């Protein structure tokens, strides 16, 4: 685990994380979140106490080999269903604001 200061996030970090998470945050919210996130990070800091030498990270909680199938087309031809819940569509396309300049 990182050293003593790593457990705290500051305003800039919260803004950066919000940008990564694509969530708009007001200045008030950023302030509040600094406190709340630091509270949670302070709580999880104790994991640093655990000696994990030689321990593999858990990748599968129930030991299993993933079942596979042949790469065949088994579904589709239901564009109407797929766009049925969309806010804005046109002839089975999803409409969004401009993506590239």
Partner 1 sequence: MTELTSLTIAEARDKLKAKDIRAVELTQAYVDAIQAANEAINAYVAVTPDKALEMAKASDERLAGGKAGALEGIPLGIKDLFGTRDVHTQACSHILDGFQPKYESTVTQNLWNDGAVMLGKLNMDEFAMGSSNETSYYGPVINPWRAEGSNQQLVPGGSSGGSAAAVAAHLCAGATATDTGGSIRQPAAFTGTVGIKPTYGRCSRWGVVAFASSLDQAGPIARDVRDAAILLKSMASVDAKDTTSVDLPVPDYESSLGQSVKGMKIGIPKEYRVEGMPEEIEKLWQQGVAWLKDAGAEIVDITLPHTKYALPAYYIVAPAEASSNLARYDGVRYGLRVDGKDIVDMYEKTRAAGFGKEVKRRIMIGTYVLSAGYYDAYYLQAQKVRTLIKRDFEQVFDAGVDAILTPATPSSAFGVADEDLAADPVKMYLNDIFTVTVNMAGLPGIAVPAGLDHKGLPLGLQLIGKPFEEETLFKTAHVIEQAAGRFTPKKWW
Residues forming the site for partner 1 (CB under 8 A): 1-2, 6, 9, 13-14, 17-18, 20-25, 33, 36-37, 39-41, 43-50, 52, 55-59, 61-62, 64, 66-67, 69, 78, 81-88, 94, 96-99
> 27 to each of 9, 30, 36, 66, 80, how far by Cα in Å?
15, 5, 14, 45, 41
Shortest Cβ distance from residue 25 to partner 1 (Å)?
7
Shortest Cβ distance from residue 11 to partner 1 (Å)?
13
Of the candidates 38, 42, 40, 14, the one whose C-alpha atom is nearest the C-alpha of residue 26 is 14
Nearer CB in complex with partner 1: 31/48: 48
Shortest Cβ distance from residue 94 to partner 1 (Å)?
5
Shortest Cβ distance from residue 21 to partner 1 (Å)?
4
């Amino acid at each position: 685990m990182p050293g003593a200061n790593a457990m705290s996030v500051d305003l800039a970090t919260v803004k950066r994380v919000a940008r990564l998470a694509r969530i708009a945050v007001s200045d008030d919210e950023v302030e509040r979140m600094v406190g709340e996130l630091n509270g949670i990070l302070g709580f999880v800091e104790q994991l640093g106490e655990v000696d994990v030498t030689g321990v593999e990270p858990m990748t599968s909680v129930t030991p299993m080999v993933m079942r596979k199938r042949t790469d065949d087309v088994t579904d589709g031809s239901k564009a109407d269903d797929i766009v049925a819940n969309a806010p804005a569509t046109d002839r089975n396309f999803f409409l969004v604001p401009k993506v590239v300049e």
